[in-house]
Amino acid sequence: MNILHYSLGFPPYRSGGLVKYCTDLMIVQREQGHNVSLLWPGEMIPWAKQKIKKQLDYEGVHSYEIINPLPVALDEGIQNPSIYMQKGNEEIYEQFFQDVRPDVLHIHTLMGLHREVLSAAKKSGIRTVFTTHDYYGICPKVTLFRAGHTCDEDHDCWDCVACNQSGLSITKIAIMQSAAYRAMNNSAVIKAIRKRHRTQFFDETIEEKASERILLEQADQYRRLRTFYLDMLLDIDIIHFNSTVTRDVYLRYFTPQKYKVIPITHRDIADHRKIKNFDHKKLCITYLGPAKPFKGYNLLKGTLDKLWRSGKTDFELRIYNIVSNPSPYMIMQDGYEYAELEEIFDNTDILVAPSVWCETFGFTVLEALSYAVPVIVSENVGAKDVFPTKMPVIHSNNGQDFLDAVNEMFDRERLKIINRNICEKMIFPCMNDVMGIYEENIE
């Protein structure tokens, strides 16, 4: 099969769960004998014509860069929606499809993607698939999370105005999409700047001081932007929801032509399950997320602080962030490498993932299960779909619910039962599962 993917690019230029999944899927497909290519949004050069430039292959995957795509805002927000709805050159995409001749176009994000890519694919008879990795298209900031809460009601995009004031300028986005930035992206200096920027992300909400007239005009732009993206999604043959959480959020906004819910995975998740020994003095709790409210860190800390103050101190929390106000039960480390996961999970009784935002999946949950580690998640974590047995699923923002779930895990026999059930009943997602979507949509 000839498979063309659209994503943000290859590592190390791009990173994150979306890029990890797409890259691993492409490599697996190439190893199985398929012809695999990636189309990705590249440089923005105002004086140059739009074109598609062949780049060096990546581990046998063909690479095609779009010169002058739409801007890629990542999760920083969008200040000027009109720029993100500009037309692309449909003839260029038609010619590209004639040259590459893909059977299927698998889209992993709408960022940087001209609407004309879809119309050209339809004219060329190419089936289209879209995998939901985040909420871009519905939410310019990707997460549907603002002011410490999930964005269930944006007041007809009025709230988008204030939420997106921190968006990067087009000049900064152009720099980040440049070849020079790609070359320096993995340097120590760029990493330090990026880390400093991200430590402040999600911490504050900028309040808009503009007049009501200006707010009305700006809100209308965000409504038009959402409609622009929803129309693109409606043109796609099949939507691949990576979890029921993601499905339920998207279906509030539109009804796809067709969809399937299939959990995702990546190449580095292997079966390391084993019967664990829980017979030690302290309950060892692990949290692998950033120390940010949207990931449920405040809920986690508040709950465990309450437990500690009650006199129940026979536990520890291992976190992989350096926080300014650590509690006495915390063991901190500044980040971790993937190669450390075996040691981390060998020393873990429970992984907690108490996300407040609607987390589309959550690879850390699947990674913990691959080591047969019991997990406590919030109802907002998509990876709960793969649970082989009844494990605690808490209500987000409900401290008592979380406290009760943690207290249950002090029962070592309960931990042993869950661990044994994971070992005996867990069925892991497979990267090949998505191939069924391709095949049923190709005549």
Q: What is the mean pLDDT of the chain?
A: 90
Most confident of 142-156, 312-326, 429-443: 312-326
Query: What's the pLDDT band for 61 if we cut at 50, 70, 90?
Result: very high
Beta pairing partners, 67? 51
Q: Residue 225 burial by CB count (10 A; 0-12/13-18/19+): exposed, middle or buried?
A: buried
User: Which of helix, strand or coil describes residue 435?
Assistant: helix
Contact 354, 296 (CB under 8 A): yes
For the chain, give the percent of residues with pLDDT over 70.
92
Which pLDDT score is estimated for 188? Answer: 59
Question: Does residue 403 surpass a pLDDT of 80?
Answer: yes
Q: Is the pLDDT of residue 349 over 60?
A: yes
Q: Where are the beta strands (DSSP E) in 22-99?
A: 35-41, 51-58, 61-67
Q: What is the pTM of this model?
A: 0.92
Is residue 79 predicted with pLDDT exceeding 80? yes
- Strands 2-6, 35-41: pairing is parallel
Q: Could you identify the residue written with the tokens 């879209």?
A: 130
Confidence of residue 206 (pLDDT cuts 50, 70, 90): very low
**In the β-sheet with 51-58, what is the strand arrangement from edge to edge?**
51-58, 61-67, 35-41, 2-6, 104-107, 127-132, 238-241, 259-261
- Angstrom distance (rounded) from CA 330 to CA 324: 12
In this prediction, residue 442 has a pLDDT band, given cuts at 50, 70 and 90, of very low
Least confident residue range of 162-171, 257-266, 410-419? 162-171
Instruction: List strand residue ranges (DSSP E) for 235-340, in order.
Output: 238-241, 259-261, 283-287, 315-319, 330-332
pLDDT band at 171 (very low <50, low <70, confident <90, very high): very high
Closest residue by Cα to residue 371 from 320, 428, 331? 428
Residue 199: predicted pLDDT:
53
Residue 114: band (very low, low, confident or very high) from pLDDT cuts 50, 70, 90: very high
The pLDDT value recorded for residue 195 is: 54
pLDDT at 370: 97
Residue 193 has pLDDT above 60, yes or no: no
Helix 297-309 to helix 399-408 angle (10° resolution) is 60
| C-alpha closest to that of 131 among 19, 240, 237, 230 | 240
Inform me whether the pLDDT recorded for 409 exceeds 60.
yes
Q: How high is the pLDDT of residue 200?
A: 53
Per-residue pLDDT for 312 more than 50? yes
Average pLDDT estimate for 245-262: 96
Q: Which sign does the torsion angle of CA 92, 93, 95, 99 carry?
A: positive
Confidence of residue 413 (pLDDT cuts 50, 70, 90): very high
Say what the pLDDT of residue 167 is. Answer: 87
Residue 208's closest CA among 148, 170, 160?
Answer: 160
Residue with tokens 């979890």: 243
pLDDT band with cut points at 50, 70 and 90 for residue 214? low
Alpha-carbon torsion 145, 151, 154, 159, what sign?
A: negative
pLDDT value of residue 207: 45
40: exposed, middle or buried (Cβ count in 10 Å: 0-12, 13-18, 19+): buried
Specify the pLDDT at position 204: 44
**Per-residue pLDDT for 392 more than 70?**
yes
**DSSP letters spanning 60-75:** TEEEEEEES-----TT
pLDDT grade for 432, boundaries at 50, 70 and 90 = confident
